Structure 1
Amino acid sequence: MEGEYGIGAYTALEASRMVGMSQATLRRWLLGYHHDNKDEPALWQPQYEPDEDGVLLGFRDLVEARIVNALRKRRIGLTTIRQCIERARVIVGDERPFSTQQFRTDGKTIFLEITRNIDEPEFIDLKKSQGVFKRVVEPSLEDLDFGPAGAERWWLLHGKKTVVADPARSFGQPILADPGISTARIAEIVAAEGSVDQAAKVYDIKPKLIRDALEYEASLGARKAA
């Protein structure tokens, strides 16, 4: 499958590594699954229609998955998460509500509304402890840039503007913002040249940027191992 310019394109494997979760779980969220003699629908409609080659995610799918994964890490059940998404979808008016500008701007108010009367024990405990939005959802919105159409880019090293996933560049694959080379390619260059300094000299890239690219690539391996 090929991605469309400006939407981003990630296989389930690529997306799961970036978000830090199981590929199989991500596929279940996007395609639905059968559980306890019941067919569970997808949590949201992916930006790309699944076909015989599998599932392809857009950039906003990636952001939605990041927030859902944060909730699941706090042991919030999928039934509760599904309710939250459905209620937020109505309020925001978007199939993928968590990755919208409105949710970024008014997220705390929206989340208070969509979680009203949800009585899952883990959720109640979290709401009592300074609020689920501030403690779980808000951190997942950090390092994201938003525009009128929703999330536009994700700065992949917290607090730095060096490594980015931008659907308008390289189909959203992780790259150095300047000079625009993929972090995976940077790792290959360093391996071929034998050192960061040699790679920096040959390809005219600042050593600091190369180290940031390597840091991000190493983090993907750490997330996969976890």
Structure 2
Amino acid sequence: MPDGSNILGRGVYTVPEAARLLKVPSARLRSWVYGNGSEPVLIPELAAEDGQDALSFINLIEVLFLTELRGQGVSLQSIRSMQDTARRVLKTDHPFAVRRFHTDGKAIWMETAEATGDRRLVDLTDGNGAMLQVLERSFRKSVTFDGAEGVANLWRPSADQPRIVLDPQRRFGRPIDNETGVPTEILADALRAEGGNVERVAALWEVPVEAVEQAAEFELRMHKRLAA
């Protein structure tokens, strides 16, 4: 895994960790980011160390949006075309993780739909673009962008546990309780050690009861995905 100097403020996730958080099969995620015999869709931010690949927080957000697009039936060919246009217009290697793409990028969508003839893209951008607005709004609901550069800087992975966030500036991007900064894994482990006594864990770690409950629920879901 990349060393601390390489990941400071950027977050770091192994492929299995990222796949679990994103609810994407590891093999699919690896092919999107690293190719694995085919042309990759995204550009990895972090160089591999000791033969181990890792994704940055920015890559995580890119895959999150790529998953949304694939869920809407948009082809990888069209996504590559859209990224090429967006990279040129927005002057960034990671347009899916930039606010401007998600707020002012309708022209990029329209240009891609016209160039590729992808029926799903045409449907999304046709007429008043209402379907496109719904897709973008759904994505922006969970992702926050910084004020200066407009780059993604916070992700709430579950609407059911709104306290849980991933922030590349804190704990190397691990899932944490947003208010206190305590990692969800620590709170969930403490709850198991205390025999499920939520109030005791909350007192020991000086966090609200809701922080313990949401952390435990979040980690339980993560472990279920790992087992699957």
TM-score range with shorter-chain normalisation?
Answer: 0.7 to 0.9
Partner of 1:99: 97
Q: Report the RMSD for the aligned CA atoms in angstroms.
A: 2.4
Identity over the aligned pairs, expressed in percent?
28
What is the TM-score when the length of structure 2 is the normalising length? Answer: 0.86
- In structure 1, stretches of 5+ residues that fail to align are 35-39
- CA contact 1:70–1:137 (8 Å) conserved in 2: no
Match in the other structure for 1:37: none
Using the alignment, how far apart are the partners of 1:160 and 1:143 within structure 2?
11
> Aligned-pair distance for 1:69?
0.8
Correspondence for 1:182: 183
The answer to whether the 8 Å contact 1:13/1:23 transfers is yes
Aligned length: 221
Check the 8 A contact 1:155/1:165 in 2, yes or no.
yes
Structure 2 residue ranges without an equivalent (≥5): none
Alignment of 1:157-168 (within 5 A): 157-158=158-159, 162-168=163-169
Among residues 84, 87, 97, which one is paired with 1:86 in the alignment? 84
Equivalent residues of 1:156, 1:216 under 8 A apart: no
Query: Judging changes above 3 Å, is the alpha-carbon distance between structure 1 residues 225 and 138 closer, same or farther for their aligned structure 2 residues?
Result: farther
Shift in Å, 1:212: 1.5
Higher relative contact order (CA 8 A, sep 6+): 1
Equivalent residue, structure 2, for 1:146: 145
Which deviates further from its counterpart, 112-121 or 164-173?
112-121
Three-state SS of the structure 2 residue aligned to 1:115 is helix
**Cα distance in 2, alignment partners of residues 83 and 48 from structure 1:** 23
Q: Deviations over 1:136-168 (max 9, x none)?
A: 343122222212331111123338752111101
Cα deviation, residue 94, structure 1 = 0.4
Q: CA deviation at 1:133?
A: 2.7
Q: Per-residue CA shift, 1:162-216, capped at 9, x if unaligned? A: 2111101000010012321111111101000012223223332211111111232
Equivalent runs, 1:4-83 vs 2, <5 Å: 4-34=7-37, 40-83=38-81
Q: 1:113 to 1:58 in 2, by over 3 A?
A: same
Q: Could you state the TM-score of these two structures normalised by the residue count of structure 1? A: 0.86
